[in-house]
Structure 1
Amino acid sequence: MSRVSAESPQEETEYRVSTLELFFDLVFVFTITQLTQKLADDMSPTGFGQVLLMLFVILWMYFGYVWLTNAVPPNTTLRRVLLMCGMGGFLIIALAIPSGFAAAGPAFGIGYLIVNLVHSGLFISAGGPGSAAAMARLAPFNLGSAVLVLAGGFLPPVWRAAAWFAAVVLIVMSPYVNRRHGEFRIRPVHFVERHGLVVIIALGESIIAMGIGAAGLPLNFQLVVAALLGLTLAYQLWWCHFGRDQDVRAEHSLAAMTQVERSRAALSAFGWAHVPILLGIIVVCVGIKKTIGHATEHLYLSGALALGGGAAVFLAGQVFFRHRMGIGTVRWRVIAGVVALATVPIGLWLAIAQVAALVLVFGALLAVEGRLRA
């Protein structure tokens, strides 16, 4: 029986994302806002590195909760209460982000430890035989990374960065040292839908960034044009990820896999690939925020890199995702990523011109892909 379950596609009881999970995601909205603001306040290489470290450890556990609710539906009072405890941990983390490498380091670590303990405890106790056993072997790695994050919170900034980087290394190694991660059971419809909502949350931050960037500015023609171009670019990012039923094709691709293949694809396509996808969106949001207030001026190199580099990072994640899931060509997205990065000199000349150039790049990409698929 175990051999059959490992080698044939699994029929799982499917269900849609619950309203409680959507409520849980509201904290993640705040987390993305805090990370975006943190990067906007310090766009130096050090500031970017700090945001990247915090984003990676946060996403690892946030995606962990996606896996958790995919295996353990929040349909009992105890499960709902525990999810709210995890939500409280994420809220502490989000509040600590602006000063994560200063006075709020201990709070960041405490929140991260709470999130880990709730996740592992609920997964192991209610995840079912296969998932619970796999989580029991993964939990020590997660706890180890949480201890490193907590300990780093009490260290000076340089040593804090080293401890948190060590936590990231442990996180990346854990699925490959623990070969039992293939025992996790994945419900494709819920899994794809929940990750899609995460991307929607990140894209929503671009709208928030435009609102913050426009605060206090006179509503004139250049502001309206800059905002509309920013909205168009955000829509194009949405179309790249969801257009032409990419999410539905991802569901079908997962459903056709065996249990082990499905778990591995879930880790690589919806785990590793979504890190650059979300990072790219956050960085583009920062670039849009910088552009709104200086549309007819030049951007500094950091702002221009945020627009062009963020778009390129987003497309790199898209290439990995589509290639891993086998759901579309990737050649044109590679070319578009290179061209997006090449728009940086335009931003150094005129901010709004770079946003317009990126709109043209993504418009051409989507047009070519649409014609090829037709």
Structure 2
Amino acid sequence: MNEQQTELRVSNLELFFDLVFVFTITQLTALVENSSSFIGVAKALLIFVVMFWMYAGYAWLTNQVPPRSTSRRLLIVGGMAAFLTCALAIPRAFDESALAFAVGYALVVLVHSGLYAQVYRSAVWRFVPMNLAGVGFLMGAAFVEGWERYALWSGTLILHLVASALASRVGESQSSGYHVHAGHFVERHGLLLIIAFGESVVAIGIALSRVKLVPAVYVAAVLGLVLVATLWWSYFMADQELSEEILTAAPLKRRVRLALHGYFYAYMPILFGIVVLSAGLGHAVENITEHLPVKYAVLLGGGAALFLIGTAVFRLIFGIRPVGIRFAAAAAAVAAIPAGILISGLAQTGFLLGVMVVMIAIERRRVRKLAKPEQEPQK
């Protein structure tokens, strides 16, 4: 039995890699939270897409060939160091740390290219040049200012989106050598999501460490935790297991397409939604009885809405039902923003929790109704 026929699970080294990458999530959350305007959200989005594209490249590659040899493990550790360099530069990536970020990103791409070349040899030239071109854009952005810097960053983003489409087309080819291990792929991204949820809980703890611990503070902390738990529930109670089953059963071409569309395109709003929500959640639970500043109310409601839209798109891609209630819940999350501005952060958190509980209850009821016709012929 060869390496690709055996069941592949996530290794400890890959989990270690993900923990380092999640520092990127932490830094992006801080960038959004500490920015004086919503321009910080735009900066964070550009950085996130660029970084998540390369994370996806590493996750895809270790799905093809696990890091079992010493040389591959050393390269993975090198990639971790490069991601850490980028993450450290994130707060000032559009200012004095622009060059440090670009150098770190160049190392991320070069290490990934080295790993890819070990496995696929000449196939490395199929889309790695676009990654290197993206590095060139970021290097150029380090030496310009104003709109030119944003234009070069946007060019990098566009290059990566084009590269993702090319990767999908190459991966669907029978001669590409790609073979998506469904169990490993789903587990890897699920673990990343769990760690990202953990960052939301950390945001609550950090925020409440700044206030006097009275009974109401403990109530606020638990309410924030339960809100994060409902987000976890909305994905892990059904979507992860069903998507793995669908991915496993799919033929090669469809499997590659599902993996890319579901775990890259749909996962972007899911993960970035957690980033944005975390930036607002700490302040929401901190403002127990006071009005929440507009910025943080928008971040909290908008982050929750973005997460729900991402999960809805994920369901559409995999054909998981129901879907419409997710979009309705996203609209309700946006409608909850005035509760934070006019009443308190705690009120908005409670409103969002109510939205999530109602959504989950409606979904469970509809799933039961969908299952009944399958049970009736067995009588």
5+ residue gaps, structure 2, are: 369-379
Q: 1:147 & 1:364 partners in 2: Cα distance?
A: 48
Deviation of residue 153 (structure 1)? 2.2
Q: Which residue of 2 aligns with 1:352?
A: 346
Matched, 1:99 2:92: yes
Deviation of residue 43 (structure 1)? 5.3
Q: 1:249 & 1:277 partners in 2: Cα distance?
A: 17
CA RMSD after TM alignment: 1.5
Amino acid of the structure 1 residue aligned with 2:361: A
Q: 2:361 & 2:123 partners in 1: Cα distance?
A: 43
Q: Which residue of 2 aligns with 1:180?
A: 170
On the 8 A contact 1:72/1:123 being kept in 2, the answer is no
Matched, 1:272 2:262: no
Cα separation, partners in 2 of 1:43 and 1:330, compared to 1, 3 Å: farther
Q: Which residue of 2 aligns with 1:166?
A: 155
Q: Identity over aligned residues, as a percent? A: 42
On the 8 A contact 1:222/1:296 being kept in 2, the answer is no
SS in structure 2 at match of 1:197: helix
Amino acid of the structure 2 residue aligned with 1:180: V
Per-residue Cα deviation, 1:202-221 (whole angstroms, up to 9, x for no partner): 11111110111112311112
Matched, 1:142 2:131: yes
On the 8 A contact 1:209/1:289 being kept in 2, the answer is yes
On the 8 A contact 1:284/1:310 being kept in 2, the answer is yes
Cα separation, partners in 2 of 1:97 and 1:345, compared to 1, 3 Å: same
Deviation of residue 346 (structure 1)? 0.6
Amino acid of the structure 2 residue aligned with 1:89: A
Per-residue Cα deviation, 1:213-270 (whole angstroms, up to 9, x for no partner): 11231111221121111101100110011013x2121111111111111111111110
Q: Which residue of 2 aligns with 1:208?
A: 202
5+ residue gaps, structure 1, are: 1-10
Q: 2:25 & 2:146 partners in 1: Cα distance?
A: 22
On the 8 A contact 1:309/1:341 being kept in 2, the answer is yes
Q: Which runs of 4+ in 1 moved over 4 A?
A: 132-135
Q: 2:43 & 2:215 partners in 1: Cα distance?
A: 37
Per-residue Cα deviation, 1:256-303 (whole angstroms, up to 9, x for no partner): 111111111111110010000001111111111111322211112211
Q: 2:75 & 2:253 partners in 1: Cα distance?
A: 29
Q: Which residue of 1 aligns with 2:357?
A: 363
> What TM-score do you get using the length of structure 2 for normalisation?
0.91
Per-residue Cα deviation, 1:146-191 (whole angstroms, up to 9, x for no partner): 2212221232243222111100011111233563132332100000
Matched, 1:53 2:46: yes
Cα separation, partners in 2 of 1:134 and 1:203, compared to 1, 3 Å: farther
On the 8 A contact 1:276/1:317 being kept in 2, the answer is yes
Cα separation, partners in 2 of 1:43 and 1:334, compared to 1, 3 Å: farther
